Amino acid sequence: MSGFSASDSAYMAQALRLAARGEYTAHPNPMVGCVLVRDGRLIGEGWHRLAGELHAEANALAAAGDATGATAYVTLEPCAHQGKTAACATALIKAGVAEVVCAMQDPFERVAGSGFAALEKAGIALRVGLMAAEAEKLNAGFLSRVRRGRPFVRVKIAASLDGAIAMQNGQSQWITGAAARADVQRLRARSAAIMTGIGTVLADDPSLNVRDEAIDMAGRQPVRVVIDSALRMPLSSGMLCLPGDTIVYCIDDGGRKALEDAGAAVVKIAGGDSGVDLAAVLDDLGRREINDLLVEAGPGLAGSLLSSDMVDELVIYQAPHIMGSATISMFNTPAWTELADRKSLQFTDVRRVGSDTRITATIKPAIRTTDQD
């Protein structure tokens, strides 16, 4: 493995941009981009749009026509298995590319190095690791599911500058402005599923769907997930009538038939410390190939996920308001008594969205054991 040049970086950056075009559609597949370069000229590029359609490498090869002797920049290890489409490593070999530069290995068990092995066996030069951090970030959801068996969990909260999500009487509509709400539509569209708690369903009857028609999701809607230990979900809940699936996780599944008839999938799951065992829910969602889970919930569910170290990222929209003392806060947590108990974050992005501020933060792994491998 040798070093990377500035032009290598530029081509890989372009491949990453191409990959990101699949953010609303590639699910449950990873987003992948590919750029083919020969004699300092870009001769073909491609990305993966939709499961069942061609992979990024195949699209780039088709765009190039003849790719003999080219260097292929790919954001993820080319697959070596025949899936819904032909293996990409094989296609690159057949096309006669001279070299492959790849951002990272694909941990998916049917790839996991076998694509690289096939390329090397065919005598193709291989360099791996260029912009690996960016490639990891791009597919955080896919990688989480493959490595941990669970989706990447992103909790979105709209709050006032003093951390309130509602007045104590529950008044909360339109805390944030139009630009932030439009941004949330994009967050939803990036997600394979959106989770909320039964409290929010009973209070607000949310739709949890993508309504922005400018977002092309290839007809998909995120799966709606409701945490509802005692199965109190009203049969008249608005989301049950919307396109797309609704999964309700419960402990007590009395009345499941009526809810199933109303259109929901009902999953009985083990009970945890307080209500549904959320780890079991995440594992189940992983089995259902959910890569990115967006949580839009009240302080109970959000606090439970946070307390049990199940949150990977927070996206906080802060509205330009001070709500004062008689309010509902973002997270119900156990009473942490020491500063050391608090959850440490790392701000990864801070920006203004219309009249609001959006803060994105990752959760730093707790010092106590985590189940991340």
* Tokens read off for 325: 């003392």
Binding site for a second copy (CB under 8 A): 159-164, 167-169, 171-173, 303, 306-307, 314, 316, 318, 320-326, 329-339, 341-347, 350-352, 355-357, 359, 361
φ, ψ (nearest 5 deg) of residue 109: -60, -25
Centre a 10 Å sphere on the Cβ of residue 113 and count the other Cβ atoms it contains: 13
Q: How far apart are CA 254 and CA 88, in angstroms?
A: 48
Nearest CB to a second copy, comparing residues 133 and 174: 174
Torsion angle (degrees, nearest 10) of CA 115, 121, 122, 125: 80
Closer of 119 and 319 to a second copy (Cβ): 319
Give me the least distance between CB of 290 and a second copy, in Å please.
24
Among residues 101 and 323, whose Cβ is nearest to a second copy? 323
Q: What is the C-alpha to C-alpha distance for residues 184 and 196, in angstroms, rounded to an integer?
A: 15
Nearer to a second copy (CB atom), residue 6 or residue 339: 339
Residues recorded for the chain:
373
Q: How far is the CB of 153 from a second copy (least distance, A)?
A: 14
Minimum gap (Å) between residue 364 Cβ and a second copy: 8
Q: Which of 23, 45, 53, 57 is catalytic?
A: 57
Give the span between the Cα atoms of 55 and 35, in whole angstroms.
12
57 is catalytic: yes
What's the rounded Cα separation, in Å, for the pair 269 and 273? 13
**CB 311 to a second copy: min, Å:** 9
Angle at 52 between CA 68 and CA 48, to 5 degrees: 55
Closest CB 199 distance from a second copy, rounded Å: 16
Is there a contact between 293 and 283 (Cβ–Cβ < 8 Å)? no
**What's the token pair of residue 75?**
């954001």
Our CB check for a second copy shows the closer of 203 and 218 to be 203
**Strands, E assignment, 236-291:** 246-250, 265-268, 271-272, 275-276
Residues in CB range of 258: below 8 A, 6 or more apart: 235
Residues marked active site are found at 57
